[in-house]
Amino acid sequence: MKKICIILLAAAVLAGCSRRHDTGLAPADFVDRVEPPCWWTGMETPLQLMIHGDRVAEYDVSVSGPRGVRVAAVHNAQSIDYLFVDIKISPNAKPGNYDLVFSRGDEVFSLPYNIGQRRKGSADRESFGPSDAIYLVMPDRFANGDASNDDVPGMNESSDPDAFFGRHGGDIQGIEDHLDYIADMGFTALWCTPLLEDNETVESYHGYACTDYYRIDPRFGDNEKYREMVGMAHSKGIKVIMDVVTNHSGVHHWWYSDPPFSDWIHFWPEYTHSNCSFSVHQDPYCSDADRQNMLGGWFDVAMADMNLDNPCLLQYFKQWAVWWIEWADLDGLRVDTYPYNEKIPMSQWCAAVRKEYPSINIVGECWTTNTAQAAYWQDGANNADGFDSNLPSIMDFSLHDAICRGINTDKEDWENGLSAVYQSVACDGFISDPLNMMIFPGNHDTEHIADVCRRDPERVKLVMALMATLRGYPQIFTGDEIFSVSRDLSQGHGGLRVEFDDNWAEDPVKKDIHDYTRALLRWRKTSKAVHCGKTLHFLSRDNTYAYFRYTDSEAVFVYLNNNTEPRQIPWNDYSEISSTLGKDVRDVLSGNKVDPSSMTAAPKSAIILEFK
């Protein structure tokens, strides 16, 4: 079944798996796309095939095959080159090979379509969450494990390792080669920026302008290679999160020149950029013009803004997400530019994916440092307009901003220093589920944390201590754990996205930060207080930050000193909780038994203690 299910339709028909009468033309001359390319029995998600081909709307469509699969309805598009076909799969349908039969008068041809047996327990899969630590990889800039796919015929952009904004040649094999490293570090989940085909003519390396939603970019590998990587990651205790983009496709997507409906894409008389103002979703005074610009304006000239108010497009994206989870055995999703989508359809999208997989986690990129605006997007938010996104998790850009502002000062003031982190965490009252937020020192769209810290290794270690102990689940971008810096900050994204340094162990500073982060992440895997504990923190105005993470049976105490001189822990200030803790206190990094009431934190250092 696996081999049959991954065959792309055009390849299948050209291989002779079809029948044709009346003319000598092959079915591929009429139909070049059927998406999704296969499906399964026992699914909750309704199946609607999008069929594309030359004047395909002139044909009637039926299904023949083993048992229990039929055409329930056919929907014409505005373009005669599309059909949207609802397929009904009965509960007792037999898995196997079916035929989509196309007829026009006495002219008949058929295409194979596989309905596979769903893997046992698929719907009940677990996902990522507060107990995980995520490693973020941008595949093209990570590691080149297979030089043979650097340049692929038919793909517009070739590799050039020296180009700031070009492809460098990283691929899935390079990721597989580093899975042991990722697991050894203590990471339990892997998020790769998009691996799907991006055949734009420039800057295609980042993958965010998809040109084929069912094909891994051949410069990374292929669909089977991706599924192989997921399986290898699972064997090493690493979950895999797929980065998906519903807001926009690439302008070189095959449907761009002939969309099925005039409202499939937000077309404008001339290029119109989104105003990028998330407030339009909550602003009671917002003009229609501003709201329409936010939702319909384009993110970039190469990224056609999709209209999820079109029901066929929404269904396409629902089953696309489900297909990849089911086919590749994924553990969760990350959604790019989440608030740029139409919010009601995206709420329905999240609900559909979670109906198929009730325990699945989906994290949305809601890039705003305004906590109240970000909180609006998390499932269960107490929104004034009654809106519920059904989105379980959001990225904590407020905390990221606070860390970047707060870590780079030797003397605290009202806006900077570690009180900025305190104030960010203090806004958790807006958040419906603070434990299910992604926290991060940086990602593929920001500067490396070593650059933020002005290449001060001790302050980088302070940030890693925060990542390992604050509420939420940490995500670390490739290289931040080994003190990587941008190639050239003046080049923006192209300069910060650098290759993984396999020689890190030869540099004592890189090795020190690696070992420090590794020790914290491996310990974090064992700490229920960090995974699911409550938080109690204490305000100071001296560029320090103290907080407890605790459950009924254990506690963790964290004290960060961001000053250039030592600070004694003011243990008596924490008596409301410290008096309830046991006497078995151990330093997390050294394992030594300690007395917190007499401890002093060295300059620019963190003390992390565990109470059992």
Tell which wins on pLDDT, 25 or 106. 106
Residue 174 confidence class, pLDDT cut points 50, 70, 90: very high
pLDDT at residue 227 is higher than 50? yes
What would the 3-class secondary structure string for 112-179 be? EEEEECCCCCHHHCCCCCCCCCEEEECHHHCCCCCHHHCCCCCCCCCECCCCCCCECCCCHHHHHCCH
The angle formed by the CA atoms of residues 153, 158 and 164, to the nearest 5 degrees, is: 165
Beta bridge partners of 100: 63, 111
Q: Which candidate in 157, 365, 396, 412 is catalytic?
A: 365
Tokens of 156: 């517009």
Give residues with Cβ within 8 angstroms of 161, minimum separation 6: 168, 169
**Whole-structure pTM over 0.85, yes or no?**
yes
Quick: pLDDT tens for 405-452.
999 998 887 778 999 999 999 999 999 999 999 999 999 999 999 999
pLDDT at residue 8 is higher than 50? no
pLDDT at 1: 43
pLDDT at residue 463 is higher than 90? yes
Identity of residue 215: R
Quick: pLDDT tens for 566-611.
999 999 999 999 999 988 999 999 999 999 999 999 999 999 999 9
pLDDT at 13: 34
Residue 276 confidence class, pLDDT cut points 50, 70, 90: very high
What is the largest distance, in Å, between two alpha-carbon atoms of the chain? 92
203 is catalytic: no
Residue 26 confidence class, pLDDT cut points 50, 70, 90: low
Determine whether domain 132-244+440-525 maps to CATH 3.20.20.80: yes
pLDDT at residue 491 is higher than 90? no
pLDDT at residue 186 is higher than 70? yes
Quick: pLDDT tens for 51-61.
999 999 999 99
Residue 348 confidence class, pLDDT cut points 50, 70, 90: very high
Q: Find the mean pLDDT for residues 393-416.
A: 92
pLDDT at residue 210 is higher than 50? yes
Determine whether domain 534-611 maps to CATH 2.60.40.1180: yes
Residue 14 confidence class, pLDDT cut points 50, 70, 90: very low
pLDDT at 189: 98
- The burial class, CB within 10 Å (0-12 / 13-18 / 19+), for 175 is buried
Kind of pairing between the strands at 600-601 and 567-568: antiparallel
Cβ atoms within 10 Å of 294's Cβ, excluding its own: 19
pLDDT at residue 221 is higher than 80? yes
Domain residue ranges in the chain: 2-119, 132-244+440-525, 534-611
365 is catalytic: yes
Tokens of 570: 């003011």
User: Domain 2-119 is classified in which CATH homologous superfamily?
Assistant: Immunoglobulins (2.60.40.10)
Query: Do 2-119 and 132-244+440-525 show the same overall fold?
Result: no
pLDDT at 115: 98
Quick: pLDDT tens for 308-334.
999 999 999 999 999 999 999 999 999
Residue 27 confidence class, pLDDT cut points 50, 70, 90: low
As a whole number, the mean pLDDT across the chain is 94
pLDDT at residue 10 is higher than 70? no
pLDDT at 24: 44
Instruction: Tell me what percent of the residues of the chain surpass a pLDDT of 90.
Output: 91
Q: Which of 15-29, 434-448, 558-572 has the lowest mean pLDDT?
A: 15-29
Find out whether 168 and 205 touch, Cβ atoms under 8 Å: yes
Q: Find the mean pLDDT for residues 558-573.
A: 97
Cα-Cα-Cα-Cα dihedral of 205, 211, 215, 218, to 10°?
A: -40
Q: Which candidate in 243, 336, 342, 379 is catalytic?
A: 336
Q: How far apart are CA 379 and CA 381, in angstroms?
A: 6
